[in-house]
């Protein structure tokens, strides 16, 4: 049966020796007698205390192994017996090594014999053993504190890692849901042109292909610069302007400082789709869509405003709101509470506003 097990500490052993040396010096200063302003330090005490704590430093991995002993899980009685025997063995090892060194120095520097040295040591055996037991008890408590702290930190890291993996999975699922939704709307737009204006329909096919290629290139990229996102927006507008070119006014009010800010991929797509499907496409007169993007006190403000029908008789019963709900979920997944998303109707305009906080 292996009584003493060696267990890796998980950090460099040299730090343990440094700590042991520092403690040795502190204890040495405490036991030294003073003579005026000077300390009287005996070389024998230096050998005794330094060897004591250096032995503990050398045995620290075995002591650490005791704190993680597995016998308790199988048989508590056997585990307790092994633990006690191991502790006593370590105390005996320390006691023998330190006192052999100490009394060897005493014998070499004085006229006393080995028997006299043993007689001097006998009255201190119990006291020395209890002192070593106290030492190893403190060491075990400190090791358990370190192990508990490390376990808590590992669990925190695992939770963070799992949350990140979950968020990534959710984002990919949401983005995968969004791509077919866009394709459906784009094909619906294309269908309205086929047979009516085949030249425009052919041009739209090319633009849709270009946009889909860009979407696939960022398939697993949750964040892109706003400048890249703006390219998606402009390509989509090109596609829709094939239908509404004669009555659509597009206004871009984008701050240059906002172009390098990271935003969710396809952030603007559901907003512009919603603007055309439930607003501009239902208007026979001139319509307007306006994009505003700027930095405000380290927050990214994005707003899309579009014309909506004046008539209140037009309903949106067929709207599934897939795009807007998808956008809301992605923003919540990525930014938790560090964002705001709102939609309002003002006169004959629909306004969607996104505020992403602390973007730098």
**Cα–Cα distance for residue pair 269/149, rounded to 1 Å:** 46
Q: Are the beta carbons of 290 and 304 closer than 8 angstroms?
A: yes
According to the model, what pLDDT value does residue 10 have?
A: 55
According to the model, what pLDDT value does residue 300 have?
A: 93
Residue spans per domain, the chain: 13-157, 160-356
How many residues appear in the chain? 360
Least confident range of 75-79, 184-188, 291-295: 184-188
Estimate to the nearest angstrom the gap between the alpha carbon of 120 and the chain centroid.
60
**Cα–Cα distance for residue pair 21/51, rounded to 1 Å:** 9
Q: Any residues with CB less than 8 A from the CB of 279 and at least 6 apart, and which?
A: 287, 306, 307, 308, 309, 350
Between the two ends of the chain, the Cα-to-Cα distance in Å is 60
CATH fold of 160-356: Heat Shock Protein 90 (3.30.565)
Sign of CA dihedral 121, 125, 131, 137: positive
Q: Any residues with CB less than 8 A from the CB of 199 and at least 6 apart, and which?
A: none
pTM of the model: 0.49
The mean pLDDT of 159-187, rounded to a whole number, is: 56
Q: What is the DSSP letter of 38?
A: E
Q: Which residue has the higher pLDDT, 344 or 79?
A: 344
Q: What is the pLDDT of residues 228-244, one digit of tens each?
A: 889 888 887 877 776 67
Q: What is the pLDDT of residues 56-80, one digit of tens each?
A: 999 888 888 877 755 555 567 777 8
Q: 60-99: buried (b, 16+ CB within 10 Å) or exposed (e) per residue?
A: bbbbbbbbeeebeeeeeeeeeebbeebbeebbebbbebbb
Q: Are the beta carbons of 324 and 266 closer than 8 angstroms?
A: no
**Cα–Cα distance for residue pair 204/209, rounded to 1 Å:** 8
Q: CA-based diameter of the chain, in Å?
A: 120
Of residues 98, 92, 93, 70, the one with CA closest to residue 1: 70
Least confident range of 28-37, 45-54, 86-95, 246-255: 28-37
In the chain, at which residue ranges do the beta strands (DSSP E only) sit? 33-35, 38-40, 223-225, 248-254, 262-264, 287-296, 299-307, 339-346, 349-356
Q: Which residue has the tokens 């505003």?
A: 292
Kindly tell me the burial class for residue 108, based on how many C-beta atoms sit within 10 Å of its own C-beta (0-12, 13-18, 19 or more): exposed
Q: Are the beta carbons of 206 and 199 closer than 8 angstroms?
A: no
Q: Which residue has the tokens 């002993």?
A: 69
What's the pLDDT band for 316 if we cut at 50, 70, 90?
Answer: very low
Estimate to the nearest angstrom the gap between the alpha carbon of 279 and the chain centroid.
42
What's the pLDDT band for 40 if we cut at 50, 70, 90?
Answer: low
């Amino acid at each position: 049966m292996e009584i003493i097990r060696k267990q890796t500490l998980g950090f460099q052993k040299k730090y343990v020796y440094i700590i042991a040396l520092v403690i040795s010096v502190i204890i040495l200063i405490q036991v030294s007698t003073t003579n005026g302003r000077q300390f009287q330090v005996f070389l024998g005490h230096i050998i005794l205390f330094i060897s004591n704590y250096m032995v503990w430093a050398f045995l620290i991995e075995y002591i650490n192994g005791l704190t993680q002993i597995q016998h308790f899980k199988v048989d508590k009685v056997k585990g307790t017996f092994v633990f006690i025997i191991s502790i006593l063995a370590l105390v005996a090892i320390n006691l023998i090594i330190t006192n052999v060194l100490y009394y060897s120095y005493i014998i070499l520097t004085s006229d006393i014999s080995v028997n006299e040295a043993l007689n001097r040591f006998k009255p201190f055996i119990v006291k020395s053993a209890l002192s070593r037991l106290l030492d190893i008890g403190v060491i075990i408590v400190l090791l358990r504190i370190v192990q508990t702290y490390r376990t808590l930190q590992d669990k925190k890291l695992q939770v963070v890692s799992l949350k990140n993996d979950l968020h990534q999975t959710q984002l990919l699922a949401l983005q995968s849901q969004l791509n077919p939704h866009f394709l459906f709307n784009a094909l619906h737009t294309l269908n309205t042109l086929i047979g009516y204006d085949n030249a425009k329909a052919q041009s739209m096919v090319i633009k849709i292909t270009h946009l889909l290629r860009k979407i696939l290139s960022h398939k697993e990229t949750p964040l892109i610069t706003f400048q890249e996102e703006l390219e998606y927006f402009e390509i989509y507008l090109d596609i829709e302007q094939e239908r509404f070119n004669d009555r659509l006014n597009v206004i871009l009010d984008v701050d240059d400082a906002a172009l390098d800010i990271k935003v969710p991929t396809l952030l603007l797509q559901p907003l512009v789709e919603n603007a055309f499907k439930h607003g501009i496409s239902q208007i026979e007169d001139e319509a307007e869509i306006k994009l505003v993007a700027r930095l405000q006190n380290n927050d990214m403000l994005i707003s899309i405003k579009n014309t909506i029908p004046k008539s209140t008789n037009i309903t949106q019963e067929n709207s599934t709101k897939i795009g807007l709900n998808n956008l809301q979920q992605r923003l919540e997944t990525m930014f938790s509470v560090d964002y705001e998303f709102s939609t309002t109707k003002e006169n004959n305009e629909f306004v969607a506003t996104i505020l992403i906080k602390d973007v730098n």
